[in-house]
Amino acid sequence: MTDALWSGVLGVIVGAVITVAASYFQQRWLNRQRDKERREQLRYELARDLMRCRLEWEKLLAPLNEIPLVFGDDSEALRLYRAVLHGQVGDQKNNDLADLIQHIGRSAGLSASVTSSSDVRVGFVPRGESPS
């Protein structure tokens, strides 16, 4: 009878340890999934904000300043960001900005047709108005 009792106690302890370990690893997996989804959502929102404000430098400053926070693990995005940040004024800076927006759009999962060079460089401006 004592063997059966010890077997039962050992089974309960092993079962509890396995349950706790399984719960721990499941929680870690769920946290990683949630963090990944949150990061993807932030990247998508930043890409959308950059596309929305790409013709207005004043409105573009806030999304540009978020790039190191959201894309800190993307060396190409940081390289392009620094090129825009430290670049010359004029056409080269506009080209660097277009390249940055294209890269961020692709990294955020936007289709290539949305982040094409012509779409990034030209935006909708009502007749009679000019972009800031």
- Per residue in 78-109, pLDDT (tens digit) is 999 999 888 777 777 778 888 898 899 888 88
Q: What is the pLDDT of residues 52-74, one digit of tens each?
A: 888 787 888 899 999 999 999 99
Residue 21 pLDDT > 90, yes or no?
yes
**Model pLDDT, residue 38:** 93
Q: Minimal CA–CA distance to 54: which of 11, 95, 106?
A: 95
Closest CA to 114 of 129, 130, 101, 132: 101
- What's the length of the chain? 132
Three-state DSSP state, 84:
helix
Task: Quote the DSSP letter at residue 74.
Answer: -
Would you call 90 helix, strand, or coil by DSSP?
Answer: coil
